[in-house]
Amino acid sequence: MAEPRFCSGLILTAPGEPLFPGTLSWQDGRITDIRRDRAPAPEDPVIAPGFIDSHTHPVELGLEGVYPDLSEARTIAEVLDRLRRADKADPGDGILFGLNLDPDRLAEGRLPTRAELDALAPGRPVVVCRVDRHSAAAGSAALRLAGIEAGPDGLLSGPDYERAACAFSHALPPGIIAAALEHAAALAARTGTTTLGALDGVEDYSLDNWRELVALMNRRPVRFVPFLQTRRPETAARLGLPRVGGCILVDGSLGSHTAALAGDYADAAGERGRLYLTDDELTRFLAEADALGLQTAVHAIGDRAVAQALCCHERARTRSELRHRIEHAVLLDAGLIAAIAGRGLLLGVQPAFEANWGGPDRLYAHRLGPRHRQTNPFRSLLRAGVRLAGGSDAPITPVDPLAGIRAALAHPNPDERIGPDAALALFTT
């Protein structure tokens, strides 16, 4: 048994409660006592509950410690140079990823082509993932690995991207996955995050694959709450888990023009994104999970996708006590907000999305036009009684709950800003 440890400061036990000066004691990783036993001092730190990031993809996040991060690249030449250096530093025939590329920030305004990726590492599978992880560019060897016949540009989006992601996931050896989870846990710990909602894995994993992934998560110092990303609820039930889903994609992303909208994209006339599942497919998943007593989570960004998710919950007659979730729900009008509240659904929200892409002159406005004022309406949702869980969608944005709290306080739409207690509650309850 370890020696007891102590820390003094201003203690916050829960959002909305007053700070008080005191001493917190813990032993063997558990809090043993909280005492009001001292006067406040100017140098007192604030002692608060550990943060919860309700929506992360730990394996993808951790791969940033293994493969090159392209977020700072500004030209195709820079992208190719960083990939070429990574290939030379770790040669072989294993898959080579380039991560977090935003083509809108490149001088060329595009992803690398298939020919460019083939030339930098002939015969090696090379994949460059867009920052939103809903589209990618792949070289010929990577396309063969995925069994996909893409066009000459090698671009993958929509269902082709999802199929390819499954194949690429299977190409990762267990050692890489373990290293990725270790890196993700370390990143979380640096920001005071003690719990990660872990949305990971791919649809065609075997039961043994899932069991191994969950076992690897359970060996980390940070608590992982696994959501198995499969539409086979019985898999989660067989592993004794109370939840299933995560990025069960109802649609794609706004950046890739694949989020399903009720109206046209402002910058792509006639384009409204796509729904990835039929009503019958989504209803079947929700009904089967609900019958097993499992909480579900599905990804829906556009208003048309959220409407489909609501319709399918209605058809499946899901139970509110299971706390079913919709992840993201970025674009919402008053009718959808009322329907979400009426069904008793929870939303997994990412305030940092507004800091990165919200407001009148960023991506949401480019894609949606005036509808950008309807994105991530946190205050309206809370007023309607909808329960919100804050997350990052890491690696899309970093695991950084304090940044998420700041983003919720400073929403680009002043009408949708929330107060400090509500913002803190997003990441602690």
pLDDT of 76-100, one tens digit each?
999 999 999 999 998 888 999 999 9
Q: Report the percentage of the chain scoring pLDDT > 70.
A: 100
Give pLDDT, residue 366: 98
User: Rounded mean pLDDT of the chain?
Assistant: 95
Q: Does position 349 have pLDDT exceeding 90, yes or no?
A: yes
> Span 370-393, mean pLDDT?
99
**What global pTM score does this model have?**
0.88
Give pLDDT, residue 360: 97
Q: Does position 15 have pLDDT exceeding 90, yes or no?
A: no
Residue 39 confidence class, pLDDT cut points 50, 70, 90 = confident
Residue 16 confidence class, pLDDT cut points 50, 70, 90 = confident
Task: Please give the domain boundaries of the chain with CATH numbers for all domains.
Answer: 5-48 (no CATH), 66-170 (3.10.310.70), 230-426 (3.20.20.140)
pLDDT digits (tens, 9 = 90+) for 394-429: 999 999 999 999 999 999 999 999 999 999 999 998
Q: Does position 127 have pLDDT exceeding 90, yes or no?
A: yes
Give pLDDT, residue 298: 99
Q: Does position 333 have pLDDT exceeding 80, yes or no?
A: yes
Give pLDDT, residue 183: 95
Give pLDDT, residue 257: 95
> Span 173-198, mean pLDDT?
94
> Span 311-315, mean pLDDT?
99
Residue 354 confidence class, pLDDT cut points 50, 70, 90 = very high
pLDDT digits (tens, 9 = 90+) for 44-60: 898 989 999 999 999 99
Q: Does position 1 have pLDDT exceeding 80, yes or no?
A: no
Give pLDDT, residue 251: 97
Give pLDDT, residue 30: 87
Q: Does position 4 have pLDDT exceeding 90, yes or no?
A: no
Q: Does position 373 have pLDDT exceeding 80, yes or no?
A: yes
pLDDT digits (tens, 9 = 90+) for 153-174: 899 988 899 889 889 988 888 8
SS (H, E, C) the chain: CCCCEEEEEEECCCCCCCCEEEEEEEECCEEEEEECCCCCCCCCCEECCCEEEEEECHHHHHHHHCCCECCCCCCHHHHHHHHHHHHHHCCCCCCEEEEEECHHHCCCCCCCCHHHHHHHCCCCCEEEEECCCCEEEECHHHHHHHCCCCCCCCEEEHHHHHHHHHHHHHCCCHHHHHHHHHHHHHHHHHCCEEEEEEEECCCCCCHHHHHHHHHHHHCCCCEEEEEECCCCHHHHHHCCCCEEEEEEECCCCCCCCCCCCCCCECCECCCCCCCCCCHHHHHHHHHHHHHCCCEEEEEECCHHHHHHHHHHHHHHCCCHHHCCEEEECCECCHHHHHHHHHHCCEEEECHHHHHHHCCCCCHHHHHHHHHHHHECCHHHHHHCCCCEEECCCECCCCCCHHHHHHHHHCCCCHHHCCCHHHHHHHCCC
Give pLDDT, residue 158: 84
